[in-house]
Structure 1
Amino acid sequence: MTATPTDIVRDFYRKLAAGDAAGALCLMAPDIEWITMWHYKVQGRGPGPVAEGLFKPLMAEWTSFSLVPTEFIADGPTVVSLGDFKGVHASTGKMSEARYAHVWTVGDGKIMRFRQYIDTLAIAQARA
């Protein structure tokens, strides 16, 4: 049975929750486009730039964090996940709880595009 776009997105969150960043990266298309709203910027396309521009600095800045999806809305290859980012900032020790919406585009069994919308004020308050 072929995995649906929602199955692939759920698998991405499961792999991140299990600490399997490499497994999460393997779910991405070689030319994935990754768009974020906060200070982490992914330069270029592909899993490598996502690891360098997002995963590494995110893990360095937060002593712990989780992405907890609470709802999935799917329409063909597009999946929207709504949920919560929860994390403890390494420098300030402050806890952040920020609501997010992630918009995923999946094709040929791979994540082709990611767009993030997040409560940047909640993140900024934890960083200050």
Structure 2
Amino acid sequence: MYAAFAAGDIPGVLALLADDVVWNEAEGNKLADRSPYVGPQAVLEGVFERLAQDFAEFSVEIDMILDEGDLVVTQGRYHAKARGSEVEIHPRIASFWTVRNGKIAAFQQHVDTLILSKAIGEPDLSGAVIQPQV
């Protein structure tokens, strides 16, 4: 999946998602407003298309993969350049993937969402109380 994403092959990425994939962005991420995304079309429209609106460049570098059967945990960094501000970011990430019948059935993102927000010029939320998603 990461190879397809790196090549810009979004149809290839989507083909790896189960029809009923449940995709969750990290709490506090701008893209978490519609989490969970259910199905590849929802992930395309709610995550990938919106990500392209905010970032002129976006790649993922994975430096560790733990495979525990149906659960795969990855660790790495995002490398991105925000549109407009040209701010470059490289936050650490951890992702939890559930694989079923060779397809990605679930995804949970973990990333420093403040870094993402500041890069795209979202307002400073210091002091705000943000409720976790239920």
TM-score under structure 1 length normalisation:
0.87
Q: Which moved more, 1:18-27 or 1:90-99?
A: 90-99
| Runs of 4+ with >6 A deviation | none
Deviation at 1:121, TM superposition (A): 2.0
Contact 1:43 / 1:49 at 8 angstroms: preserved in 2?
A: no
Cα distance in 2 for partners of 1:30, 1:124 equals: 30
Q: Aligned residue for 2:99?
A: 106
1:70 corresponds, among 53, 63, 66, to 63
Distance 2:40 2:15 in 1: 8
Equivalent residue letter for 2:67: A
- 2:36 pairs with 1:47: no
Unpaired runs of 5+ residues, structure 1, are 1-11
Count of matched residue positions in the alignment of Structure 1 and Structure 2 = 117
Q: Which amino acid aligns with 1:17?
A: A
Please tell me the residue identity of whatever aligns with 2:11: A
Q: Distance in 2 between matches of 1:42 and 1:68?
A: 24
CA contact (8 A) 1:99 1:118 kept: yes
Unaligned runs of 5+ in 2: 122-134
Alpha-carbon separation, structure 2, partners of 1:115 and 1:44: 11
The 1:46/1:27 distance shift into structure 2, 3 A limit, reads: same
Q: Tell me which of 19, 23, 33 is aligned to 2:22.
A: 33
RMSD of aligned alpha carbons: 1.1
Contact map agreement 1:34 1:115 (CA 8 A) in 2:
yes
The structure that is helix-richer by fraction is: 1
TM-score normalised by length of structure 2? 0.83
> Match for 1:89 among 79, 82, 94?
82
CA distance in 1, matches of 2:25, 2:36: 11
